[in-house]
Structure 1
Amino acid sequence: MMTPLTENQILLEQIRLMQGNASGSRLGISIFSLFLVWAYFDQGNTTLLLSWSGLVMLGNFYSWRRAGRILALDVSSVSIAHVKYLSLSLIAYYTCYGALWGVFPWIAQVKDTSVGIMLILTYLAGMAGGAVALMSPVLPAYFGFAGMLLTSMTIKLYSMGPDYYNICGSAVLFLILLAIQAKNSSQAAKIAIKVKFENMDLMSKLLVETENAQAARLDAEHANHTKSKFLAAASHDLRQPIYALGLFLEVLSRSSLSEDQRDVLVSAQASSDASADMLNTLLNFSRIEAGVIQPNIQPFRLQHLINKIENELSPQAEAKGIVYRSHETQFSVNSDIALVELIFRNLVSNAIRYTEQGGILVGCRKRGRQVILEVWDTGVGIEPNQHQEIFREFHQLGNPERDHRKGLGLGLAIVEGLTRTLGHNLLLGSTPDKGSVFKLALPIAHSAIIHEELNSVPIRVQLKGVNVLVIDDDESVRAGMLLLLSEWGCLCQAAQSIEEALAMASVQKPDLIISDYRLREQASGLTAIATLRTALGSSLPALLITGDTAPDRLREATRSGLPLLHKPVSPSELFRHIVFAIDKAI
C-alpha cells in the first residue's frame, strides 16, 4: 500500500511529465490553428475565426507559463493540497481547451461535402489521437479534453443528417478505443514513475551505505595506522634494553660462574630470548606491512630446512608429551630459503601450540611441477568460518585471556604475508576437534647449484686487533657493545653522536663502523655513516642496526644498501656480520 506522501509524489510527477510532454507541441498547435483560419477564412466568419485563433494562442501562452512554474517547483516542499489543486486546475484547463477545439467545425461553417467530412474526421483523429501521448499521464485531463472535442464533433456530424449516423457511431467507437489506449499509457507512465522513485530510494540507500562503508574504511585505516605507529614506537623502546641485556648476558656467560649462577644465567638468557622472539615477530610483521622484503630466489634442498626446524622445535613437542615426526625428502625447490624457513617455523610452532595430544607430522610430496610441504597436527582444528579469520593479525583461537605463552596472534598473518610476497600458494584443511593441515606449494628445482648455508665464518679473518667504532645514543647499549667486542679481541670505541664519532675517528681510524639507525636530535645512522665515509673514504665497512619497525623507516634503511641488523641482534649473528664485513673489505 502506497503511503499518502508517495501517492502525492507520484501525482506530482504525473503532472510534471504531462507538462514536459506538452512543451514541444504548443508552437506546432499554434501554427496549425493559423493554418485552419487561413483555410476557412471568408467574409462571413472572419471575426469568429480570428477570435477562436486568439483564444487558442492565449491558452497556449497560459499553458506555457504555468508549465514553467510547475516544472520549477521544489518537489520535496509541495503539499498534498497544492498537488491536488494543480491536478484539478489542469483537468479544468484541458476540458475547456478541448471544448475550444471542438467548436471549430461550427465556427468554420464546415459544409456538407466529402471534403468537409474528411476535414472533420482528420481533425478529430489528429487532435484526439495526438493528445493521448501528451495528456495521458494525468488521465482525467485527457478524458476532459478528448470528451469535449469528440462530443462537439459527433454532434456536428449528427446535425448533418441520417446519412452521417454511421460516422457518428464510428466516432464514438474511436473515442472508446482512444480511452483504452490512454488508460494503458497512463498506467505505464505511473509504473515508470514508481520505478523511478524506487530506484531513487535504492540509490539513496546505496549512497548512505557507500558513505558508511567509506567512513568505516577510513576509520579502519586510521586505526591500523595508529596501531602500526604504536607498535613501531613500543618495539623500538623495548628493543634497546633487551638488546643491551643480551649483550651483557653474553659477556657474563664467558665469565667464571658457579653451577647455581650458571643455572640462573641460563634462565635469564631464556627469558631474554623469549622477549627477543616476540619482538622479532613484531618486526617480521612490520617488514611485511612496509613492503621491504625482497625475496632472494635460488634453489635449495628442503631436507636441510626440515632437519633444522625439527632440531629446534621437537623439544617443545616432547615437553608437551606429543610426537614430532618428519619424513625425509630428496626434493629441491626454488624460493627464498630464509622466508620459507620463517613460514615453516611459524606453521610448526602453531601446530605444537594448539596440539595437546597426538602429534605433528611434516612431509613433502610432488604435485606436477611443485613440491607440497605439509604440516599435519592432531590439534583442536579450525571451524570453517574461521579459515579466513585466522590469517588476520592478532587473531587467536582459544585464547580470550591473551596468554603471552600462546604467542601474539601474528604467526599466521606473517605466514600469509610472506606466502603472498613469494607468490606461492598456501592451502588449509581442518576438521574441528581432529586436527589441521597446512600445505605450502613450492616450485620444484632441477638446478645443480644448491644454496648452502653460510654459517661458518672465513678462516682467514680474525677479529683480534680490529678497530670498531660504535655509534649509539643508548648508554647501556654502548657499554654492552664495548664489553662484548673487547671479549672478541676488538679495539673498540663508542660514541653517542656524529660529532663525537668524527672526533674519535680523526684520532684513530676505524676498520668498521657499527651505527644505530636512530640517533639523538633527529639524526640517523645513515647520516653518521655517510659523514664518516666522506671523511675517511667511501670503502669504509659499516653495519646499520635498528630497533625501528615503522614501515617508512624500514624502507629508508633498506634502500641504503647497508647491511641491516634488527635489534635485539644475537651475539652470534653480530659476530658473523662483522666477520663478513671485514672479509669483504680485504
Structure 2
Amino acid sequence: MTPGTAAASDRDLTASPQRAVLVEQVRLIYGVLGRSSWSTLALSLFVAWVLRQLGTPIAIWLVAQTLLKLSEQIEIRWFIRDEAITAHPERMVRRLMVTQSLHAAGWGALLWIAAAEAQPDQFIFVVMAIGGVLSGGITSYSPLPRVHLAYICTFIVVELVSFVALWLTAGSNPYFTYMPLLMIIYCLGTYSNTTVAGQTYQRTIELSFRNAELARSLEREVERARRAQAEADEANAAKSTFLASASHDLRQPIHALGLFLALLDRSRLDDVQRDTMNQALAALRASSEMLDALLDFSRAEAGVIVPQWQSFAIGPILRQIEEETGSTADDRQLFYRTRDSDLWVRSDPTLVKLILQNFVTNAIRYTVTGGLLVGCRRRGTVVRVEVWDTGIGIPKDHHEAIFADFLQLSNPERDRRKGLGLGLAIARRLADLIGARITLSSKPGQGSVFGLELPASVATPPLETQPQPAVVPAFKRSGDRVLILEDDEAVRQGLCALLADAGFDAVGCETIAEACAAARREAPDLAICDFRLRNGENGIEAARRLRALAGQELPVLLITGDTHPTRLAEAARADLTVLHKPVPADLLLKAIGNSMTVPLAEHAAAEDG
C-alpha cells in the first residue's frame, strides 16, 4: 500500500467510527489466532495419538488439521498486513469466516470418526477435547462474534450430518449417536457467552477511541496554549525592547537638559530668570519621574531585584515618604498626615518604601479635595500599612484591573501629571517579590484604602559601630582628572561643563579607542562611561579596558538610559556603580564624591607631604 493510500485509509477511519471499530476487532482476532493456532495443533496431535488404533481415518483427519493450522500461521505471518485490514476490513471479516469454518468442520468431523470404532473412554476424551476447543472459541472470537457465528453454524451442520449418519448406522451405541445433539446445545451456549463478551469488547474499543480522541484534543489544546504562550512571550519581549529603546532615546536629551539646567542653576539669575528656571526644573522632574517608572517596571521585569531581608522600623520610612511627597500634596491643597508608629517589620526596606511611595503618589494624583492619611497597625503576626485617601474611588469590578500595566481608569486624556499607569503594576510585582500582600478597599466617590501586609518583627537595637573618619567629597578638591566616555555630543558637553564648573579636569571622549588613548597619556582618577555606545561597544567593556590601563582600583560610574531587562541584568552583574539617566546633577556629584573620597586624615597627610 502506498503512503497516499494509507493516508486516505486513516482519513476514512476518522470519518467512520464504526469502520474504525471493525478494523480494531479484526486486528484483535488475528492477534489471538496467531497465538492459539499452535496450542490447537498440539491438541490435534495428542487426540490423533490417543485414537491411533483407528488407522487411516484419524491419520487423514490429522493431516487436514495440520495443513489448516500451518496455512493459518503462514497467512498471518506473511500475507496478512495491517494496511490490508485498514483498507478492506469487511473483506478480511469474510476471509476469517471462511477459514474458521474449515477449522470448525475439522473438529466437528472428529466426533463422527471417533463414534465409529473408538472405545467409550476414548470417546469421552474426544468429547472433552471438542468441548475445550468450543470453549476456547469464546476467547478467540469474542472481539467479533459474527466470525464465531460462522464457526458455530458450520460445526452445527457437521454435527447434524454426524447424528443422521450414526442414527442410520445399525448397531450404533445410542450414547454415541445422540452426542452430536448435545454438542450442538453446548456449542450454542458458548456462542451466547461470545456475544456478551463481544459487546464488552466493542464498548472497550469505542471507549479507547474516545480516549484517544480526547488525548489528541488535549494535545491540540496544549499545542495551541504553547503557541499562545510563545506569542505572549514574544510580545512581552517586544514590549520590553520597545520600552528600553524608547526610554534610552528619551533619557539622552533629558539627561543633557538636566546637566545644562544644573549648570545654569549654579549661575547668578534674577527673580524672573529664577522663576523660569524653577518651572523648567519642575517639568524636568515630571519627565524624569515617568522615565523612572519605566525603569522600575523594566527592573521588575528583568528579575534583577534581589530583596535584602532585614528587620526595621516602619515609622521612619513613612515619615521619609511624607517629607519627599508632602510638598506635592501641599501644592494641590490636600492634607497629608502620617501617624507615628513604633512597629517593626521584616522585609526589604527599599522595596517596601517604593511600594508605599507608589500608593501615596497614586492617592495624591487622584484626590481632588480632602487628603490622605498613612498609618499602620498590627494584627497577630502581620503589620498592615494603609494609605487612606478621599479621592475618586475605584469600582469593585476594576479592583484587579488597576494593577495591569499602563492602565489608568480616570485618565483618558493621558494627562502626564498622572503618570504612565505603571505605579500599581510595579507595586504588585515588588510585593510578590518580597512575599507581601496588597489589599484594596474602595467606594466610588468616597475614596480608597490601599494596604500592604508585612510580617511583624521585634525591635532590633542598632549595632554599635566605630566612628568613621570624615571624608572629603571629590568635588571639594580640584584637579582630579575625570575621563568621560559618552557618544552623545550634547550629553558629553553637558557633563564636561558641569564637572569643569565643579573643579574637575574633565576630558570628554566619544569612543573606547579615544578613551584608552587619553588614559595612556595621563591616568584618570575616575571614569564615567555611558552603557550603550556606537558600533556595538558598551560601557562595561570600556571599564574593563580602562582598568587594564589605569589599574583595577580605578572607580568607574556606568550611566545608562537602557531599561531592557537583559541589559539591566548584565549591568547588575558588573562590579560598577550604575546610575540611570537622567541623573540629577547633585546625585551625579554625590556619586563621584563617594567613589573618589579618601579618609580626611589621609587626604591631609597627602597635602602636607
Q: Give me the TM-score of the superposition, normalised by structure 2.
A: 0.84
Where does the alignment leave 5 or more consecutive residues of structure 1 unmatched?
A: none
After the TM superposition, which residues 233-244 of structure 1 pair with which residues of structure 2 at under 5 Å, given as runs?
233-244=245-256
Q: Report how far residue 523 of structure 1 moved.
A: 2.8
Question: Where does residue 64 of structure 2 map in the other structure?
Answer: 55
2:295 partner amino acid: L
Distance 1:549 1:451 in 2: 39
Q: CA RMSD in A?
A: 3.2
Distance 1:181 1:545 in 2: 86
Question: Where does residue 568 of structure 1 map in the other structure?
Answer: 582
Question: Where does residue 132 of structure 2 map in the other structure?
Answer: 126
Q: Report how far residue 316 of structure 1 moved.
A: 4.5
Instruction: Indicate the larger mover: 433-442 or 133-142.
Output: 433-442
After the TM superposition, which residues 359-438 of structure 1 pair with which residues of structure 2 at under 5 Å, given as runs?
359-377=371-389, 379-381=392-394, 383=396, 387=400, 389-397=401-409, 403-421=415-433, 423-430=434-441, 433=444, 435-438=448-451
Instruction: Indicate the larger mover: 230-239 or 16-25.
Output: 230-239
Question: CA distance change for structure 1 residues 318 and 168 in 2, over 3 Å: closer, same or farther?
Answer: farther
1:16 partner amino acid: R
Aligned to 2:535, the other structure's residue is in SS state coil
| Pick aligned residue for 2:210 from 195, 198, 222 | 198
Question: Where does residue 605 of structure 2 map in the other structure?
Answer: none
Question: Where does residue 554 of structure 1 map in the other structure?
Answer: 568
Cα deviation 1:330-389 (Å, max 9, x = unaligned) = 1233333222211111122233445556653322122344422223445433545862x5
Question: Where does residue 208 of structure 1 map in the other structure?
Answer: 220
Aligned to 1:441, the other structure's residue is in SS state strand
Cα deviation 1:541-573 (Å, max 9, x = unaligned) = 332211122233222322222211111111221
Q: Report how far residue 119 of structure 1 moved.
A: 2.0
Question: Where does residue 113 of structure 2 map in the other structure?
Answer: 107
Where does the alignment leave 5 or more consecutive residues of structure 2 unmatched?
A: 1-12, 603-609
Question: Where does residue 465 of structure 1 map in the other structure?
Answer: 478
Q: Report how far residue 245 of structure 1 moved.
A: 0.5
Question: CA distance change for structure 1 residues 252 and 21 in 2, over 3 Å: closer, same or farther?
Answer: same
Question: Where does residue 94 of structure 1 map in the other structure?
Answer: 100
Question: CA distance change for structure 1 residues 91 and 396 in 2, over 3 Å: closer, same or farther?
Answer: farther
Cα deviation 1:4-58 (Å, max 9, x = unaligned) = 811111112111111111111111222222222222224x641x43333333233
After the TM superposition, which residues 260-409 of structure 1 pair with which residues of structure 2 at under 5 Å, given as runs?
260-317=272-329, 324-355=336-367, 359-377=371-389, 379-381=392-394, 383=396, 387=400, 389-397=401-409, 403-409=415-421
- Contact kept, 8 Å, 1:124 with 1:149, in 2: the verdict is no
Distance 1:377 1:195 in 2: 61
Instruction: Indicate the larger mover: 192-201 or 51-60.
Output: 51-60
Question: CA distance change for structure 1 residues 37 and 402 in 2, over 3 Å: closer, same or farther?
Answer: farther
Distance 1:189 1:491 in 2: 93
Distance 2:456 2:84 in 1: 67
Cα deviation 1:464-484 (Å, max 9, x = unaligned) = 414233221111112211222
| Pick aligned residue for 2:21 from 4, 7, 10 | 10
After the TM superposition, which residues 132-281 of structure 1 pair with which residues of structure 2 at under 5 Å, given as runs?
132-149=138-155, 152-153=158-159, 156=162, 159=167, 163=175, 171-281=183-293
Question: Where does residue 538 of structure 1 map in the other structure?
Answer: 552
Question: Where does residue 447 of structure 1 map in the other structure?
Answer: 460
Q: Report how far residue 188 of structure 1 moved.
A: 0.8
Q: Report how far residue 426 of structure 1 moved.
A: 1.5
| Pick aligned residue for 1:64 from 54, 62, 73 | 73
Distance 1:38 1:126 in 2: 17
1:472 partner amino acid: E
- Contact kept, 8 Å, 1:463 with 1:490, in 2: the verdict is no
Q: Report how far residue 279 of structure 1 moved.
A: 1.4
Q: For this pair of structures, how many residues does the alignment match?
A: 573
Q: Report how far residue 495 of structure 1 moved.
A: 2.2
Distance 1:281 1:235 in 2: 10
Q: Report how far residue 130 of structure 1 moved.
A: 0.6
Instruction: Indicate the larger mover: 228-237 or 392-401.
Output: 392-401
2:573 partner amino acid: R
Distance 2:108 2:178 in 1: 20
Distance 1:166 1:358 in 2: 111
Question: CA distance change for structure 1 residues 507 and 62 in 2, over 3 Å: closer, same or farther?
Answer: closer
- Contact kept, 8 Å, 1:373 with 1:440, in 2: the verdict is yes
- Contact kept, 8 Å, 2:258 with 2:584, in 1: the verdict is yes
Distance 1:584 1:65 in 2: 97
Question: CA distance change for structure 1 residues 352 and 216 in 2, over 3 Å: closer, same or farther?
Answer: same
Question: CA distance change for structure 1 residues 271 and 148 in 2, over 3 Å: closer, same or farther?
Answer: same
Question: CA distance change for structure 1 residues 409 and 51 in 2, over 3 Å: closer, same or farther?
Answer: farther
- Contact kept, 8 Å, 1:382 with 1:436, in 2: the verdict is no
Distance 1:127 1:432 in 2: 83
Aligned to 1:470, the other structure's residue is in SS state strand
Distance 2:320 2:84 in 1: 77
Q: Does 1:35 align with 2:34?
A: no
2:24 partner amino acid: E
Q: Report how far residue 215 of structure 1 moved.
A: 1.4
1:128 partner amino acid: L
Q: Does 1:520 align with 2:520?
A: no
Q: Give me the TM-score of the superposition, normalised by structure 1.
A: 0.87
Q: Identity of counterpart residues, as a percentage?
A: 35
Distance 1:53 1:112 in 2: 16
